[in-house]
Structure 1
Amino acid sequence: MRIDDCYQLGYISKTHGLQGEVSVVLDVDNPSDYQNLESVFVDLSKSEALIPFFVDTIDVKASRALVKFDDVDTIEQAQELVKASLYLPLTSLPELEEGKYYFHEIVGFNVIDQQQGELGVVKDVYTGGSQDLIALIYQGKEVLIPINDQLVPRVDKKEQTVHVDLPEGLLELGTSA
């Protein structure tokens, strides 16, 4: 399995106990949806190839999970997995209702402002902080646009466009140094 065919579920933050269990930070909207997870793909080498790991037990609590993988039975084996990212196939994502989108889907979409017209193409979506952000190159600089219903009222997957309604000055404020 390749990273390009997957979405990031989270990452292993630390070992837990002496029997090979690990603590996982889940970077998803509904962590409890993963309580019955049977397997994940693990990025051990920072390459394109991911390694499948089967889940022996998982206990999800809020945005964390305590996981025991098959064949990981010692703290030393678990330590080898710390900081590794966990992935699931894109095909396992549930279908979203009309008007909803996954962040990975909008990378490459054209960004169109209601006042200024076309601004550029979504380069990336930054998550994990207090605010999710769309990153695009505008006039040669990276601009960050907060994702919320007021600033990003509509995404058209068919037309591959992100429609924004930016207040005056946001493009200048949103420019990273």
Structure 2
Amino acid sequence: MQLEDCYFLGTITKAHGYKGELNVHLDTDEPDAYKNLESIFIEKNGLLVPFFLKKAKLHKGNHLRIIIEDFEDPETLIGRSIYLPLETLPPLDEGQFYYHEVKNYSMLTEEGVVVGEIVNVRDTTAQDLFEVNSPDGKEILIPVIDEFIVSVDHNKKTITVSLPDGLLDIF
């Protein structure tokens, strides 16, 4: 399994108890979708290594407690990232998208003006941001706000936005 075929699910943060349980912080809005995980991929030395789970139980919001089958030293996995295959993502409603899907989409205004190409979605800041390269090579940061997004066309690979007056002038 290659990293580009997977999505980041969370990070192993610490051991719990003495029976091999690990605490995973899930990076998701829907932690309930992962309470019955049977297997995961853990990034180790740049590779994704599959592990089967003996147990996966939700704990306090976005935390999952897991026990990995037949693994002698689970504490060596603390701090590692967990991934799942992209095909395991639940389907979305019309007009919704996963951040990884819109990479390389064109962003247009309602008037059809090209804002640029989405090269990334930054989700490590207080406000998630579309990182857009404008046609003249400038980096533009557009907040990911439902009110700004008019439509998403997965077939044409476009996102149409309605931006506040003057937002693009900042860049």
- TM, length-normalised to structure 2: 0.89
Amino acid in structure 2 at the alignment position of 1:146: P
- Structure 2 residue 90 is matched with structure 1 residue 58: no
Runs (5+) with no aligned partner, structure 2: none
RMSD: 1.8
Runs (5+) with no aligned partner, structure 1: none
- TM, length-normalised to structure 1: 0.86
Q: Report sequence identity in percent.
A: 37
| Higher alpha-carbon deviation: 158-167 or 91-100 | 91-100
CA distance in 1, matches of 2:103, 2:79: 25
Q: Determine if contact 1:27/1:128 at 8 Å carries over to the other structure.
A: no
With over 3 angstroms needed to count, the CA separation of the structure-2 counterparts of 1:142 and 1:83, relative to structure 1, is farther
Paired position in structure 2 for 1:114 = 110
Amino acid in structure 2 at the alignment position of 1:35: K
Paired position in structure 1 for 2:142 = 145
With over 3 angstroms needed to count, the CA separation of the structure-2 counterparts of 1:38 and 1:118, relative to structure 1, is same
CA distance in 2, matches of 1:141, 1:66: 44
Paired position in structure 1 for 2:71 = 72
CA distance in 1, matches of 2:165, 2:13: 41
Amino acid in structure 2 at the alignment position of 1:9: L
| Higher alpha-carbon deviation: 8-17 or 138-147 | 138-147
CA distance in 1, matches of 2:164, 2:148: 8
With over 3 angstroms needed to count, the CA separation of the structure-2 counterparts of 1:129 and 1:31, relative to structure 1, is farther
CA distance in 2, matches of 1:32, 1:9: 13
Paired position in structure 2 for 1:42 = 42
- The structure 1 segments of at least 4 consecutive aligned residues displaced by more than 6 Å after TM superposition are none
> What's the offset of the Cα at 1:28?
1.5
With over 3 angstroms needed to count, the CA separation of the structure-2 counterparts of 1:107 and 1:152, relative to structure 1, is same
